[in-house]
Structure 1
């Protein structure tokens, strides 16, 4: 059950079964299923079957599985499922700068995670803290894998303020197909590490800005899991290498 303690000494109970579906997607699946039923009653099979298949695809897209979040005050977990496509040093976006509840203006390490339409699109908090700044910016819908998507696409910036005063920045970016970013939180909300923060519909990207003195604990091309994969350890600066096989 959610909230159960899991550890490496055998505590906790592994559970299987199908993941739940987020309410945001149920209405779309019901609409498609209803249209499919109407088409079937009218003997329009060429329409009924594709609509039935589409309703199943929608349920799969909006799936919302439980995650086992590692516990540790120095851990920053992945905010999204997907593939690490960029690790680079950049200045934080203007909306996230400032020394008062912001990331400052000095270059920080940005980890970009690309989500395909087959990935879970529920985004999660990288750490425990309080939601500070949130800025929604309308924009274009270019390929989310491109670097310019961070500056041109529809996006939402948010900052999580840890209890020790360290600010962690995160940006949800819409992609070619995505057309809406849905937040689950607002400024002032207290969140736990791995807590659901929002979702992006139909393909997208999420950027995480690591604080100064923290190096990525993942590599380019690595698949990560929201709420479970550790992207960084605060204050730990270590160079990692991997071998693609």
Structure 2
């Protein structure tokens, strides 16, 4: 369970405790909201594949973007409200920089969402971009510059719907991709590319 979940669920849980005896329907709705927040922020363990030169998905969800950007390939994963929203390192590496970029709040599956608020975790040879959606306004990186992470390790989470994109290392080309738009992936487990 992501730590922030308890804080977010506290208000509706307290409201449910007060209203359940007095106004049961309102109390039930507030209790359901508190439980929904806890469920949404679940953080299951994952077992990354033990193989060399692979890239795993940074998020649970549906591949919504596969495109070339200069000499690099970008793969984006749209996280629906029912997906786990914990983000994981696609490749082992050392964090060089974590930068926040303010922006719009368009739906994360929209083509214009590249301009949304985002946090970029720069690993030097590749970047992980956590992009807020229209409702998601809370991106929480769990790493800092200098941190060394293993492939599949947790690097952050985002609350309530968003996208996670990985700009792959320059030596990964289109022939190395193992996913395409529309594929369903699991963070830290689904191999999205080889050759890294």
Range into which the TM-score falls when normalised by the shorter chain? over 0.9
TM-score, with structure 2 as normaliser? 0.94
Is 1:187 equivalent to 2:145 in the alignment? yes
**CA radius of gyration, larger in:** 1
223, 232, 235: which one aligns with 2:184: 223
16, 24, 39: which one aligns with 2:4: 24
What is the DSSP-based 3-state SS (H/G/I as helix, E as strand, rest coil) of the residue aligned with 2:163? strand
The within-5 A match list for 1:207-222 is: 207-214=165-172, 215-222=176-183
TM superposition shift of 1:61: 0.4
TM superposition shift of 1:62: 0.2
TM superposition shift of 1:28: 1.7
What is the DSSP-based 3-state SS (H/G/I as helix, E as strand, rest coil) of the residue aligned with 1:226? coil
Aligned to 1:232: 193
Aligned to 2:39: 60
What is the DSSP-based 3-state SS (H/G/I as helix, E as strand, rest coil) of the residue aligned with 1:148? helix
The within-5 A match list for 1:112-123 is: 112-123=76-87
What is the DSSP-based 3-state SS (H/G/I as helix, E as strand, rest coil) of the residue aligned with 1:64? coil
Identify which range, 25-34 or 120-129, moves more after superposition. Answer: 25-34
The within-5 A match list for 1:119-198 is: 119-150=83-114, 152-161=115-124, 167-198=125-156
The answer to whether the 8 Å contact 1:135/1:157 transfers is yes
Which structure ranks higher in relative contact order (CA pairs < 8 Å, sequence separation ≥ 6)?
A: 2
Q: Deviation per CA, 1:29-75, whole angstroms, max 9, x where unpaired? A: 2322111011113x112310110110111111000000011122301
Pick the structure with more helix per residue: 2
Aligned to 2:30: 51
Q: Deviation per CA, 1:86-117, whole angstroms, max 9, x where unpaired? A: 21112xxxxxxxxxxxxxxx331111110011
TM-score, with structure 1 as normaliser? 0.76
TM superposition shift of 1:179: 0.7
Segments of 5+ residues of structure 2 without an aligned counterpart are none
Alignment size in residue pairs: 193
Alignment RMSD: 1.3
